[in-house]
């Protein structure tokens, strides 16, 4: 993985936290060790001062005590009413006065230019005993403790670094697998396995990627079927055109049939032109040059005019077209909205049996086209506006006068106008298409 990858970043972040924690621990421990240095000298010094304070006065001046203090590295002194000797020289006049008044003294000072810790206690035999110890006497022990602390912090940091690398790799592995799956999807592979374990957020991304995989596979399958359908539909008029054209070229068509053959060729050419026009319309719906002129549109007037325009064809088919206009104004392109209504009415008239009804209605912010035809199954509603899906699904069982692109073009036009279109089941059992637009 690259140094800028998630695993490396997580490892570096965790390592940084471990190092900062070790440094912070060292900073916090340093003053504690310094305090421990003084405490390591002062505590036994105070105990010895308490012990000596209980001895008779004569014992304080004996040669044996001097030898003891020499061996222990301590300096002893005596404070009496008349004089101050030995370690007492490290005391200030105020501290000497406190001792003579019977108060213990615990302090620090200098003795012969050397920093010392001083513990002084009033003596049972009169006066006071003073003990002084060089602070440096604890340096060796303190240095050993410092080495151990530094070693412990160093080992802890190394363990933390190793743990950080392991955790980073473990946490980033599912996301890395998800990224690999995404790249395979982008390359065109489908049915890619995605991680099912790891942090909840990564699992959620993987699940979404799996859903995208399924949606892409379904969409591509529909597109494949659509292209196969279009190829099949185009092949039929092309075959007819080629056959008649060869007949005309070979002279096998009698002169009296030329006009009829020419009319057939024109009809088949018109069919192919219809296919091409619809395909171009679908392509242009997503192009930037497809212009939409948004204005205020009176839905009631548009519904009435559209209904009247379709009365002749409806009467010929034995179908009643009814307009139910309610006053409503929306923002739309009137020509494109009329194109959508024409496509929906054309679809409704083709599937509605003789004697049926088609209703075109408007209400606040919406317009509906419903019919009394065979309607749509629940699984038809989700794919009603996919190019050619319903056309292929009901091929041979329902009347078809087009290529199955009308609903897809209508949906694209509505979306370009900022609206929504939905397919549903009419109260009478037929189909209903509802267009919702901004007011």
Across 92-101, 188-197, 383-392, which has the greatest mean pLDDT?
A: 92-101
* Tens digit of each residue's pLDDT (9 = 90 or more) over 44-62: 888 888 887 787 654 455 4
Q: Which residues contact 20 (CB under 8 A, 6 or more apart)?
A: none
Pairwise CA distance, residues 84 & 61, whole Å:
13
**Residues 6+ positions from 189 with CB-CB distance below 8 Å:** none
Tell me, which fold does domain 6-141 have in CATH?
A: Beta-Lactamase (3.30.450)
The upper half-sphere exposure of residue 56, i.e. CA atoms within 13 Å in the direction of its Cβ, equals: 3
The 3-state DSSP composition of the chain as helix, strand, coil percent (nearest 5) reads 60, 15, 25
With contact defined as beta carbons under 8 Å apart, do 67 and 179 qualify?
Answer: no
Summary count for the chain: helices (H), strands (E): 12, 11
Residue with the bigger pLDDT between 412 and 387: it is 412
Name the residue ranges covered by the structural domains of the chain.
6-141, 200-285, 295-436
pLDDT of residue 31: 64
CATH architecture of 295-436: 2-Layer Sandwich (3.30)
User: Does residue 425 surpass a pLDDT of 80?
Assistant: yes
Distance CA 347, CA 31 (A): 88
Rounded CA separation 119/131 (Å): 5
pTM listed for this prediction: 0.45
* Contact between residue 87 and residue 111 where contact means Cβ atoms under 8 Å apart: yes
The hierarchical CATH code for the domain 200-285 is 1.10.287.130
Q: What confidence tens digit (pLDDT) does each residue in 90-120 have?
A: 888 898 888 888 889 888 888 888 888 888 8
């Amino acid at each position: 993985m690259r140094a800028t990858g998630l695993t490396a970043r997580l490892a570096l972040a965790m390592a940084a936290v471990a190092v900062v924690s070790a440094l912070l621990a060292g900073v916090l421990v340093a003053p504690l060790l310094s305090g421990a240095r003084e405490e390591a000298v002062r505590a036994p010094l105070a105990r010895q001062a308490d012990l000596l304070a209980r001895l008779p006065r004569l014992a304080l001046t004996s040669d044996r005590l001097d030898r003891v203090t020499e061996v222990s590295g301590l300096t002893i002194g005596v404070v009496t009413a008349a004089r101050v000797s030995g370690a007492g020289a490290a005391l200030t006049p105020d501290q000497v006065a406190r001792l003579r008044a019977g108060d213990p003294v615990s302090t620090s000072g200098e003795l012969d230019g050397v920093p010392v810790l001083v513990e002084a206690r009033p003596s049972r035999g009169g006066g006071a005993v003073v003990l002084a110890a060089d602070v440096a006497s604890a340096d060796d022990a303190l240095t050993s403790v410092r080495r151990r602390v530094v070693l412990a912090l160093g080992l802890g940091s190394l363990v933390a670094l190793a743990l950080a690398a392991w955790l980073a790799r473990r946490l980033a592995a599912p996301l890395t697998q998800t990224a690999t799956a995404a790249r395979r999807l982008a390359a065109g592979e489908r049915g890619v396995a995605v991680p099912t374990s790891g942090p909840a957020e990564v699992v959620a991304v993987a699940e979404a990627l799996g859903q995208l995989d399924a949606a892409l596979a379904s969409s591509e399958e529909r597109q494949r079927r659509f292209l196969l359908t279009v190829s099949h539909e185009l092949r039929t008029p092309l075959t007819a055109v080629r056959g008649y054209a060869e007949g005309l070229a070979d002279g096998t068509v009698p002169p009296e049939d030329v006009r009829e053959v020419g009319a057939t060729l024109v009809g088949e050419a018109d069919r192919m032109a219809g296919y091409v026009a619809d395909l171009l319309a679908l392509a242009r719906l997503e192009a930037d040059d497809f212009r939409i002129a948004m204005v205020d549109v009176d839905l009631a007037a548009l519904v009435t005019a559209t209904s009247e325009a379709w009365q002749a064809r409806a009467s010929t088919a034995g179908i009643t077209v009814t307009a139910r206009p309610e006053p409503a104004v929306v923002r739309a392109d009137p020509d494109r909205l009329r194109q959508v209504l024409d496509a929906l009415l054309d679809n409704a008239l083709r599937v509605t049996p003789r004697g049926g009804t088609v209703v075109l209605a408007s209400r606040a912010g919406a317009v509906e086209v419903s019919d009394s035809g065979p309607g749509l199954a629940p699984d038809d509603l989700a794919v009603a506006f996919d190019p050619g899906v319903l056309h292929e699904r009901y091929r041979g069982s329902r009347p078809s006068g087009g290529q199955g692109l009308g609903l897809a073009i209508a949906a694209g036009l509505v979306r370009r106008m900022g609206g929504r279109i939905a397919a549903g089941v009419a109260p009478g059992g037929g189909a209903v298409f509802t267009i919702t637009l901004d007011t």
